[in-house]
Amino acid sequence: MSRSCRVVPAILTDNPQALARMVRQAENFTDFVQIDIMDGRFVPSNSIVCNDIAVVEPQLGWEAHLMVRQPEEHLHCFVMAGARKIVFHLEATSSPLRTVRLIRQLGAKVGLAVKPETPLSTTLSFADAVDSILFLTVHPGFYGAKFLPEVLEKVAEMRARRPCVEIGVDGGIKEGNIAEVAALGLDHVCVGSAILMQPDPAEAFRRLQALVDRATRARKQ
């Protein structure tokens, strides 16, 4: 199956002013971002909250990556703030399918995120119920966390077993490994510090997208 792969800037911060700055920067070079939400319980860190995003009023498309316990309690706020997709963690709720139904009832797309240690067999059992699968290639919660290459084996197997499902990866992606990751046949790669913590985020984004495009073309040949 022929597919393209896009780089999605991932915004992670606990500072509302930094959120506004990163959103405004991203509006100059992309039309879609991921905004990471952390509750200090599911992951060790806290982040900005839904109301902070509503105040910024992003002028681009965005998805909320909810690294929070009981994500079903937070859905309405993020959809009302403008999220096109809600990405929640399989490990964060006792009722994944109920969470999927609630998101769809609110009119948003559904993404399922999985931690590095989650078995692929568990992920596969929910793959047909959601719009996309997001494999975390780090232990979540911080910019700059260590990339875990062993997750790529799960990504490759998911692509082989579900050739039509939308697949992304998130965490520890940089210029040195993004081509290897994109070559697995991904639909999107979420990149945080390697874009938004760089002196020129727009140029960093363009370099990474060029590397992804080259890897994707090579895979098609």
Domains and CATH numbers, the chain: 6-220 (3.20.20.70)
Task: Judge whether 131 counts as a catalytic residue.
Answer: no
| Cα dihedral sign, 179-184-189-194 | negative
Return the exposure string of 188-213: e unless at least 16 CB atoms fall within 10 Å of the residue's CB, then b: bbbbbbbbbeeeebeebbebbbebbb
The confidence band for 74, taking pLDDT boundaries of 50, 70 and 90, is very high
Compute the distance between CA of residue 166 and CA of residue 186 in angstroms, rounded to an integer. 7
- Quick check: 221 pLDDT over 60? yes
- Quick check: 216 pLDDT over 60? yes
Compute the distance between CA of residue 150 and CA of residue 116 in angstroms, rounded to an integer. 8
- Quick check: 1 pLDDT over 70? no
Compute the distance between CA of residue 62 and CA of residue 83 in angstroms, rounded to an integer. 5
Task: Judge whether 128 counts as a catalytic residue.
Answer: no
Strand partners, 51: none
SS3 labels along 40-60: CCCCCCECCCHHHHHHHCCCC
- Quick check: 142 pLDDT over 80? no
Active-site residue, from 39, 52, 170, 187:
170
Q: What is the pLDDT of residue 5?
A: 96
- Quick check: 11 pLDDT over 90? yes
Compute the distance between CA of residue 23 and CA of residue 115 in angstroms, rounded to an integer. 26
Closest among 183, 164, 165, 175 to 221, alpha carbons compared: 183
Active-site residue, from 14, 36, 39, 131:
36
What pTM was computed for the model?
Answer: 0.96
The confidence band for 29, taking pLDDT boundaries of 50, 70 and 90, is very high
- For the chain, the straight-line distance linking the first and the last C-alpha, in angstroms and rounded, comes to 12
- Quick check: 2 pLDDT over 60? no
| pLDDT tens track for 181-200 | 999 999 999 999 999 999 99
- CB under 8 Å to 21, separation ≥6 — which residues? none
Among residues of the chain, what percentage have pLDDT more than 90? 92
Q: What is the pLDDT of residue 86?
A: 98
The pLDDT mean for the chain works out to 95
